[in-house]
Amino acid sequence: MKTLELRTADGRCIAHHVRMACSFRSRCIGLLAHSCIRDHEGLLLVPGASIHTLGMRFDIDVVFLNRQMRVLALAERVPPWRIVRAPRGTGRVLELAAGKIAATRLTTGAYLIVDSPPDDPSERPTIKLQRLRQPCQRTPPIQFSLRLPLDRRCTGPVKAQCSVGTRFVRSPPPYQRELDSRAKTRPTVGI
């Protein structure tokens, strides 16, 4: 599983090894399979919302983030067997070791920056060479033809205007305003 490194906008490291939980199953299990979480580790739930610590054996710190990685709310030292509701607008949740929020002086409103550490030499950035541009080769213009259905529809009222073997469709009569029969007569007033 790929790990990430999270830092604040001013450069403070939040966690060196943050795993991402993107599937439904991995988000539900979360940190339940672990007996503890190390100080430099974390779990980023994407997408995230309210969390639970049901069945966990240790306290955690929880950071609620929006989709732009801005800290919306913090929950410090959440004990096992608790449910923590997410604030409105939460898109991601970061679970950290207990005490990590206080140690890094993380506050609401701060932005987190995601870095991926180059653990593997194949993941290290390389210098990209510019591609040589090939001269644009024009293709012939697009050719198309408009095909009409073989069975023509006649819209004229007279059958003689249409060719043989076609279906006849009557056009509706032109719109005429028709008054209601009650509107034509004047009401009578009894004396």
Residue-range domain boundaries for the chain: 3-120
CB count within 10 Å of CB 40 equals: 15
pLDDT at 131 over 50: no
Give me the torsion for CA of 94, 39, 5, 101, rounded to 10°.
50
* Architecture of the domain spanning 3-120: Sandwich (2.60)
Query: What are phi and psi for residue 67, nearest 5 degrees?
Result: -70, -20
Listed in sequence order, the residues at least 6 apart from 74 whose beta carbon sits closer than 8 Å to its beta carbon are 61, 62, 63, 64, 101, 106, 107, 108
Single-letter residue type at 51:
I
State how far the Cα of 164 lies from the Cα of 157, in Å rounded to an integer: 15
Does pLDDT of 136 surpass 80?
A: no
R_g over Cα of the chain: 35
- More confidently predicted of 116 and 118: 116
Asked whether the predicted pLDDT for residue 191 surpasses 90, the reply is no
Mean pLDDT, to the nearest integer, of 112-125? 64
> How far is it, in rounded angstroms, from Cα 43 to Cα 27?
9
pLDDT of residue 96: 95
**pLDDT band with cut points at 50, 70 and 90 for residue 146:** very low
Which ranges in the chain belong to alpha helices (H)? 24-29, 100-104, 181-184
pTM: 0.61
- For position 25, what pLDDT does the model report? 86
Q: Assign residue 159 a region: left if phi > 0, alpha if psi is -120 to 50, beta otherwise?
A: alpha
Q: Which of 17-21, 84-88, 166-170 has the lowest mean pLDDT?
A: 166-170
